[in-house]
Structure formats: structure tokens, C-alpha cells
Amino acid sequence: DLFIYYYGLVLLALTVLVFLLILIWPVELPDILLKQTKEGRLALSNHGINQFIQTKLSGEDLSNIKVRLKNTRRQRKFYIVADSVYKQATVKELPRISYDLTKSLNDLLAGVNRIPIKVDIKVNQKSNSKRKVTRVI
């Protein structure tokens, strides 16, 4: 009887732990809700935001812009990797570019709840993936 009692307590504790973990786990949202009424729902998709960022950064001497967005209920993070012909000049301008992009995103999402926006821009970073390339001898 004692073994079954402790087994039940451990099983109950694990069930509660898994339930709390599922509730607290951050869920990535597919879009940003702008307005919801009984007539319908107006939302801005993550793909639309990615295209907005690429359009904003295309005039900043950046090319091959890749945007990764993490949109949760508590924060919005934008990870941007781009190439630049003149890396030294672009790196000096990164704080201004990041500030302008953050301001533009705040203006775009002005009527939406005030969730903090974080922008992380990297220029000419090496790829972490290890691709298999054939060698010619």
C-alpha cells in the first residue's frame, strides 16, 4: 500500500509539472491581430512583416536579406542577416539602421498592444551549416 501511495504522488506531481510546462511554454503566433470585431478579423501576417523589413532594408546598401521572426504573446524578436559590399561602412551605420527599423515597426504596429520589439541585425556572418561540397582534385 505504501508503494502505491508514493507512486500515485509522484505520478500526480509529474502530471502537474507537465501541465504547467504546457501552459507556460511560449507559443509562436502566425500573425499579429490588428482588429477583431463581430464582422471579422484583421491581422498582419508574419510573411507581410518580413516583406516590410526587406523593403525597408533594401535601400540601406544591404543585399541577400534574410529575416527570421519570433512572434509570441510577450515579445517580438526580429533576427536579420544580410550581406554588404562595404562591410566597414555598414557596420558603423548598424545602430542607426536598427533604430530606424525599430521605429518603423513601432509605427506599423501603432494601434496594436504595446509588446516590446527587439531587432538584431548581423552583416556578412558566416553560415553555421556544414554543407557537403564535392572536391575536384
Tens digits of per-residue pLDDT, 12-59? 999 999 999 888 877 777 777 777 788 887 888 888 888 999 998 888
What pLDDT is stored for residue 15 in this prediction? 96
Number of CB atoms found within 10 A of residue 13's CB: 10
Residues sharing a CB contact under 8 Å with residue 28, sequence separation 6 or more, in sequence order: 70, 71, 72
Tens digits of per-residue pLDDT, 49-82? 889 999 988 888 888 889 998 888 888 899 999 8
* Angle at which helices 87-108 and 46-58 cross, to 10°: 140
So what CATH class is 27-123? alpha beta
What pLDDT is stored for residue 84 in this prediction? 84
Domain layout of the chain by residue ranges: 27-123
Tens digits of per-residue pLDDT, 118-137? 999 888 765 555 666 666 66
